[in-house]
């Protein structure tokens, strides 16, 4: 395994300038792309995730690390060849129809991205058909829905129904969250997972995909 300690350290610190320089150096010296990602960037983000869940660092520090990783990925992407990099999993995410509150959803997106997942963010007020269409089109592994209002919670059920009607309910795992949402509600509408916050969303996603 190649040594990417300097890169890992820079990502953990959220030092964009030095992380980008380290990535550039790794690319120039012909390091394996998958290895730069796995042993450099994702290793750093795993460490960041662990520190965060232990309460050792704060959200803005974690997000800065995620941003640092994204900047490094921008450099790496042009070097991708077909089949070079295996994605960890694809997540289609959005707030449900009628709900415009997206701070929580955005946080989940950023954390999942930081953990190495591919995010397809549909934004706010997403109707069931749009969810279904995107899940089909991208062959997503996870569909994440968020609702802040009790009046928009039924839209979660409707969206799951729409997946069933489209015949793709068993092809995707459904994860839900948002202030009034509970574990009981998730079971009631037969969602596959409930995440009370962004950190748990990452843990649940990994569990759903058998990655942990």
Partner 1 sequence: MRPIEIPTFQPRMKVLNREQALAIHTAALEILEKTGIKMEHPTVLEALAGEGCRVSGRDWVKIPAYLAEEALHSAPRQIALYDQQGNKSMPLTHENPFYGTGSDATFTFDMETGERRRSVLSDVANYARLVDGLENIAFCMSMANPVDVPVIEDIYLQVFAEMVKNTNKPIVFIADSGKDIARIYEIACLVAGGEELLQQKPFLLNYSEAISPLRFPQNVMERLIFCAEKKLPICLPSGSNAGGGSPVTLAGAMALGIAENLAGLVIHQLFGKGSPFLFGPNVSVLDMKSTVVSYGCPEWSLTQAALADMRDELYGLPIWAFAGASDAKVMDAQAGAESMFSIITAMLSRCNLIHDVGFLEYGSTSSLEMVTMANELVAMSRFFVGGIPVNDNTLALDAIERVASGEPGSIFLMDDHTFEHFMEAQFLPTLLDRSRYDSWEQSGALDMYGRCNKEAKKILATHQVNAKSDVVLEEIDRLLRR
Round to whole Å and give the CA distance between 69 and 15: 10
Contacts of 152 (CB under 8 A, 6+ apart): 95, 96, 97, 98, 99
Site for partner 1 in 60-79 (CB under 8 A): 60
**How many other β-carbons are positioned within 10 Å of the β-carbon of residue 148?**
21
- Give least dist CB 190 to partner 1, A: 17
Interface residue with partner 1 among 154, 168, 192, 203 (CB under 8 A) is 154
Interface residue with partner 1 among 58, 129, 137, 164 (CB under 8 A) is 58
- Give least dist CB 200 to partner 1, A: 11
Site for partner 1 in 182-201 (CB under 8 A): 182, 184, 197-198
Round to whole Å and give the CA distance between 168 and 128: 13
Residues that bind partner 1 (CB under 8 A): 55, 58-60, 100-101, 103-104, 107, 149-151, 153-154, 179-180, 182, 184, 197-198
């Amino acid at each position: 395994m190649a040594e990417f300690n300097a890169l890992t350290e820079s990502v953990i610190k959220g030092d964009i300038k030095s992380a980008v320089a380290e990535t550039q150096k790794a690319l120039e010296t012909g390091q394996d792309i998958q290895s730069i990602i796995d042993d450099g960037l994702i290793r750093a983000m795993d460490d960041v995730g662990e520190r965060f869940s232990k309460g050792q660092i704060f959200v803005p520090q974690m997000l800065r690390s995620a941003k640092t990783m994204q900047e490094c990925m921008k450099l790496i992407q042009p070097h991708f060849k077909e089949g070079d990099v295996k994605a960890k999993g694809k997540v289609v995410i959005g707030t449900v129809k009628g709900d415009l509150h997206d701070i929580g959803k955005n946080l989940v997106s950023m954390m999942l991205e930081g953990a190495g997942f591919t995010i397809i963010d549909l934004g706010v007020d997403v109707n069931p058909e749009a969810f279904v269409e995107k899940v089909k089109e991208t062959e997503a592994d996870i569909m994440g829905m968020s609702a802040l209002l009790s009046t928009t919670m039924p839209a979660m059920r409707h969206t799951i129904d729409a997946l069933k009607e489209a015949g793709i309910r068993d092809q995707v795992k459904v994860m839900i969250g948002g202030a009034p949402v509970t574990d009981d509600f998730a079971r009631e509408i037969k969602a596959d997972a409930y995440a009370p916050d962004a950190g748990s969303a990452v843990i649940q996603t990994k569990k759903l995909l058998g990655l942990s």
